[in-house]
């Protein structure tokens, strides 16, 4: 999860690594993968083949991005290149990466890897529009919308903290609203 605050050092180190010649980076990746038989990347998260990686690393090397945001804008740099840079940062440079994953968002809007289902951009835009409208109305004094936002915040807080429960202090998991009773999938509205 490269957007996590915990991975700031990984992002910085990835940009520093790009100051090396691309061939040196690829050699380091090959050395890491060949020397450590216990290093297994999850299925679907493999490092891309060398020819593709060389092209994307060379493009980044030519542009020398000074921060991670600029690295993401380099044409050809995608998830595979970022995984390769993170692998080198973690194994060769000893940077501790955080593997915390914002899973709760994937269950609301899907995951880019298709798990639990593919991302639907219109659902994300619809959620944003609904919440933005509710926030504007709440600021304008509409108490129903304000109460709905408070309930949503409380429900979210309970859902996030549910994993921290101990058997001696049980908490009830909030029950999400039932899906609509039709054959078509619809985004439920709070308002």
Asked whether 32 and 40 are in contact (CB, 8 A), the reply is: no
Confidence (pLDDT) at 165: 46
All structural domains of the chain with their residue ranges: 5-92, 105-164
**Euclidean distance between CA atoms 70 and 174, whole angstroms:** 40
Confidence (pLDDT) at 174: 47
**Euclidean distance between CA atoms 3 and 15, whole angstroms:** 15
Reported pTM: 0.48
Confidence (pLDDT) at 169: 46
**Euclidean distance between CA atoms 76 and 18, whole angstroms:** 14
Confidence (pLDDT) at 11: 92
What does R_g of the chain's alpha carbons equal in angstroms?
Answer: 22
Return the bridge partners of 144, or none: none
Residues in the chain: 191
The two tokens of residue 126 are 């619809």
Confidence (pLDDT) at 179: 46
Confidence (pLDDT) at 157: 65
**Residue of 177, 139, 138, 170 lying closest to 155 (CA atoms):** 177
Asked whether 72 and 66 are in contact (CB, 8 A), the reply is: no
pLDDT tens by residue, the chain, 191 residues: 787 788 899 999 999 998 888 888 888 877 877 776 565 655 555 565 666 777 888 899 999 998 999 998 998 888 888 888 888 888 778 888 887 765 555 566 777 777 777 877 787 788 778 877 888 888 888 788 778 778 777 776 665 554 444 444 444 444 444 444 444 444 444 44
**Euclidean distance between CA atoms 95 and 127, whole angstroms:** 36
Confidence (pLDDT) at 80: 81
Asked whether 102 and 34 are in contact (CB, 8 A), the reply is: no
Return the bridge partners of 118, or none: 111
The two tokens of residue 116 are 């639990």
Q: What secondary structure does DSSP assign to 84-96, as a single string?
A: HHHHIIIIIT-PP
Q: Report how far Cα 53 is from the mean position of its chain's Cα atoms.
A: 21
Residue 3 makes CB contacts below 8 A (sequence gap 6+) with: 102
Confidence (pLDDT) at 149: 76
- Let me know the angle formed at the C-alpha of 13 by 10 and 18, rounded to the nearest 5 degrees: 130
């Amino acid at each position: 999860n490269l957007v996590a605050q915990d991975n700031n050092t990984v992002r910085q180190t990835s940009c520093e690594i790009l100051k090396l010649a691309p061939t040196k980076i690829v050699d380091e990746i090959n050395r890491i993968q060949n020397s450590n038989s216990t290093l297994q990347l999850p299925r679907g998260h493999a490092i891309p083949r060398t020819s593709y990686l060389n092209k994307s690393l060379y493009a980044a090397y030519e542009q020398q991005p000074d921060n991670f945001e600029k690295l993401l804008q380099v044409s050809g740099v995608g998830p595979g290149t970022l995984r390769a840079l993170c692998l080198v940062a973690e194994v060769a440079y000893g940077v501790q990466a955080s593997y915390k994953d914002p899973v709760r968002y994937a269950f609301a809007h899907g995951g880019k890897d298709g798990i639990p289902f593919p991302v639907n951009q219109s659902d994300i835009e619809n959620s944003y529009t609904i919440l933005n409208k509710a926030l504007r109305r709440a600021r304008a004094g509409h108490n129903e919308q304000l109460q709905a936002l408070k309930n949503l915040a409380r429900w979210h807080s309970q859902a996030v903290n549910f994993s921290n429960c101990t058997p001696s202090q049980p908490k009830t998991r909030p029950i999400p609203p039932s899906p609509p009773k039709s054959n078509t999938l619809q985004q439920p509205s709070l308002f």
